[in-house]
Chains A and B, each alone.
Chain A
């Protein structure tokens, strides 16, 4: 096993070796946890995205683990790069954001109108800014007002 970081795809192992183990260099599993919170101080359920072919469930954790998290409202998705895609973002808006807004309206016992407007402050990820996503939001959720975090300042929040 190589312990000396060699950079790129090269190691100090014998040339033409077929199988070279590298410490912390193999068996990696990247995933994205999409975080959101309400101004009331409540954390909204996470969307966890794992890398794998979209539509397949092979890269996701096992059913038992997912079921435990799903009881808290967690949503799981799978995209080729483990980054948010159009499909995963739509799923997130439907399952997390819209569900939360509806729950707040319902909890108000009629004090808030059914079409109560809400502000959704999101960062400048290219999917969020895409015309396709913005048009979809406008058509499906006209009551959600989209605002963007100033570019490069997401880490400040």
Chain B
């Protein structure tokens, strides 16, 4: 989010500079053009540049939402991710999995994934949903079809995908 904001500030600055020079060129020779860039003037102008840039970003919520998506926090309210997080003890690995998190996993999938309910102590079956999440994340990151990752239904296949995901991550 910093980058688009800085780009917007630069763009508004360039616009101001071009307009100032353009106006002066209408009544003066090129050699007489002088842009006021002393600290006091620039400091006052900087407020209007910041305001314009802020309004520009505020007008496009998709940029902000995208930034939040990258943090992985958007997934924190998802029940299945909460449960997966409860079973994953490596925070760094979980974060990487969330980078590929697909918010469009349906309720039906979730029911299949967590039909057993949540236990504080994970067992072999509980680890399957996390493995499947990781497999989907890997498939997404690799640009492969999501359906290819979800096609495997047996625990053995999911476990194999999880192994592949571990290697990828």
What is the distance, in angstroms, from A147's C-beta to the closest C-beta of chain B? 8
Q: A86 to B96: give the CA distance in the assembly, Å.
A: 33
Q: Is the interface of A mostly helix, strand, loop or mixed?
A: loop
Q: Is B57 in contact with chain A by the CB < 8 A criterion? A: yes
Q: Does A80 contact B (CB under 8 A)?
A: no
Whether B153 is near chain A, meaning CB under 8 Å from some CB there, is no
18 residue pairs from A and B, CB less than 8 Å apart: A31-B43, A31-B46, A37-B68, A42-B58, A43-B64, A45-B54, A48-B47, A61-B44, A61-B47, A68-B47, A69-B51, A72-B54, A74-B47, A74-B50, A119-B76, A150-B95, A155-B2, A156-B70
- Interfacial chain A residues near B95, Cβ < 8 Å: 150
Q: Does A83 contact B (CB under 8 A)?
A: no
Is B50 touching A33 in the complex (CB atoms < 8 A)? yes
User: When chains A and B are docked, how far (Å) is the Cα of A65 from the Cα of B42?
Assistant: 12
Q: How far is the CA of A27 from the CA of B36 in the complex (A)?
A: 12
Q: A-contacting residues of B (Cβ < 8 Å)? A: 1-3, 5, 9, 37-39, 42-44, 46-48, 50-51, 54-55, 57-58, 61-62, 64-65, 67-68, 70-71, 73-74, 76, 95
* Given known A33-B50, A157-B67, contact A65–B61 (CB-CB < 8 A): no
